[in-house]
Amino acid sequence: MMSGRGVVNRLAMVIAAALGCAVAAAPLRAEDGYALWLRHAPLEGEALADLRAAAPVVVAPPGEDDSPTLKITRAELAQGLAAMQGETKLRATPDSLPIVLRCGRARGDGQSGFAIAPQAFAGRRALAISAPDHLGCLYASFALLREVALGRPLHAIRLGEAPAMPLRMLNHWDNPDGHVERGYAGRSIFDWWRLPERLDPRMIDYARANASIGINAVVVNNVNARAFMLEPRYIAKLKRLADAWRPYGIRVFLAARFSAPIEIGGLARADPLDPAVRAWWQAKADEIYAAIPDFGGFLVKANSEGQPGPQDYGRSHAEGANMLAAALGNRGTVIWRAFVYKAEDATDRTMQAFAEFVPLDGQFAKNVIVQVKNGPLDFQPREPFHPLFGAMPNTRLMLEVQITREYLGQASGIAYLGPLWQEVLGADTGRGGGVVAEVIAPVGMAGVANTGSDRNWTGTDFDQANWYAFGRLAWQPALSSEQIAREWAAQTFTRDPQALGTITEMMRASREHVVNYTGPLGLAHLMGTGHHYGPAPWVCDLPRPEWNPCYYHRADKDGIGFDRTARGSNALGQYAPAIAAQWADPASIDLRYLLWFHRLAWDAALPTGRSLWAELVARYDAGVAGVDAMAAQWGRLAGALDAARHAAVSADLAIQRREARWWRDASLAYWQSLNGLPLPEGAAPVAESLEAYQARNFPEAPGQ
């Protein structure tokens, strides 16, 4: 992908190629990461010979209903297949293999999927792309190009796919001033100041990347929403985006501030049962749909972290959501976040969402979705799955995950999140609804976006893999995270089998390394205040208890861990009995969740044969060693990859090595200040004093 005038030139070249016109070869660009997984790098060896022998051409049968989506489909196929032959246009021969587009007349939503299979055309062999609608054909074109990029010959490609869930959404935490909350890849990609008159060409490349992995919805603004984004001047801006993204199958959603009737509507209240408030929202919805007929709807964060909501008026979440749902009617959807917690709630913070929402099961309107984070706390490197999954059978639930790495190293090093999401998608709820993937299948999956203004979109090259993996898992959650990693790496870096094996292994293990050096054995929420950067388990004096790391680890001279059994907060009781039974006994629980649910003495014996203290130190050391191993593996790939991106990732890994040691040493220094225990024999000493680590300050850290 290119930006600015380069996009226009590229598209002109693609369209010309699709029409059979001669065009001049474009100069090669340096590898800077902008092209993401859509590089379409030339094939080599047998794969290249097979593609050239097939000499494919793209054919739309006469009378095929045209649309912007079909034009994009033809252009993508022509450009991608030509590029993988090292050409700028497809070159027809008497033996060319026709790739025939058989797309239903409906513009459609792509939910019915597509098929790719050999089929006769005009008395000769051909490869047919079939779909009930135009968007299905676009999805099929990207799937076909992916298969070819992975080295599969055209004659061997047979695919039949449909998305596992209807809503596959990115949530942007972008503010209209260009700042991105918890963003580590530069400023926002949305240029609200110059919209609607000027549409940044990057918006088209962004839509193209999303469509290539099946993402079909985007919330364009922060859940901590600004009311003025509902004003007419912003509706015009939103319309320009919606019009640009429509051919790619992407519907726009807007995060709505619940108190907007007061802030921009001149009303005295925002009570959802007040007729004047309901009328205001109805008029606002009508105004939006007049401009954007396929507007997706509203995402709402209410009565959480100080945001306004229906509870300000003694109303329930259901009453607030249903008021907005009535305004949208059958035109759109209200997505109501279940991430709620309050300072005045004295119970375990991880229990609050369950306590507030389960009693409301069955009370939400049909066009309301309750969006639930993967775990009950807040996107930590590891959490047990959220107990709401399976506990609200009469409510439409949607999974929310975080693609941006707020708690997993932000934008340094490598932390591939496919395994994290696979853990939650495959978690058995124990309540008859099956695994989490089955609970959310009728609704969808949302990811907090990690894109920004950096040239490579995501801050580090490997963070692109998390954007990619989110789309692939939302489309097909049965895919393995390892398979996704391999196909991403092959399209993004290299097809060399040995290098691919190394990169895939690095990615597979990377998230576990981060867990080990930041929060082993179920520890969580140990990061610095505000910016969430680096270790700060010693913070105990913040005004709200649940903001403090001490609230979560509860360490003292006697032990460490949060007792969430019946003897403690009984958060374990929110899970189905069969699941709770698996985690109730510290002697048999999966050690990954040990200190999440149990408080143990430092000298408690673990099944590993070590004491709790010795096991903690071993896990921290394993995290550091794992990052060192990744850096060494990457270093050995220097000759197999382009020099610029290899150097950039090497620098990222150097940062991660330093940060892994910082986390390990600062954490151990603090735990030792409490338990007074020496490090186990053979463990490396802590590099600095606890006071030195506590004195570190980062007011300029991204995400502050």
Q: Which of helix, strand or coil describes residue 295?
A: coil
Which residue blocks in 317-394 are alpha helix, DSSP H?
317-328, 352-357
Burial class for 314, CB neighbours closer than 10 Å (0-12, 13-18, 19+) = exposed
Pair of tokens at residue 694: 């506590």
Which candidate, 666, 657, 648, 650, places its Cα nearest to that of 628?
Answer: 657
What is the second-level CATH architecture of the domain 167-489?
Answer: Alpha-Beta Barrel (3.20)
Q: Which two tokens stand for residue 2?
A: 């290119």
Can you tell me the distance from the alpha carbon of 330 to that of 458, in angstroms, rounded to the nearest whole number?
36
pLDDT in tens, 307-352: 999 999 999 999 999 999 999 999 999 999 999 988 777 889 999 9
Helix axes 497-518, 643-675, angle to 10 degrees: 20
Rounded CA-CA distance 159/279 in Å is 49
What pLDDT does residue 109 have? 87
What is the predicted pLDDT for the residue at 30? Answer: 53
Mean residue pLDDT of the chain comes to 94
Q: Omega before 196 cis (within 30°)? A: yes
Q: Could you give the residue numbers annotated as active site?
A: 305, 378, 406
CA 22 → CA 13, 27, 74, 228, 570, distances in Å?
9, 16, 17, 49, 71
Beta strand 159-161 pairing with 114-121: antiparallel
- Listed in order, the ranges of the chain carrying CATH 3.20.20.80 are 167-489
Domain 517-562+599-694 belongs to what topology? Alpha-d-glucuronidase, C-terminal Domain (3.90.1330)
Where, residue-wise, is CATH 3.90.1330.10 in the chain? 517-562+599-694
Residue 463 has pLDDT above 90, yes or no: yes
Averaged pLDDT, 233-241: 98
Which range has the worst mean pLDDT, 91-95, 293-297, 480-484?
91-95
| Beta bridge pairs of residue 74 | none
Burial of 656 (0-12, 13-18, 19+ CB in 10 A): buried
CA-to-CA distance for 624 and 629, rounded, in angstroms?
9
Residue 630, both tokens: 């990744």
Contact assessment for residue 123 and residue 94, using Cβ atoms and an 8 Å cutoff = no
Q: 136-147, pLDDT tens digit by residue?
A: 999 999 999 999
Pairing of strands 217-219, 114-121: unpaired
Query: One-letter amino acid identity for 651?
Result: A
Phi (first) and psi of residue 444, to 5 degrees: 160, -165
Fold of 5-161: Chitobiase; domain 2 (3.30.379)
- Burial (CB count within 10 angstroms: exposed 0-12, middle 13-18, buried 19+), residue 650: middle
How high is the pLDDT of residue 107?
Answer: 67
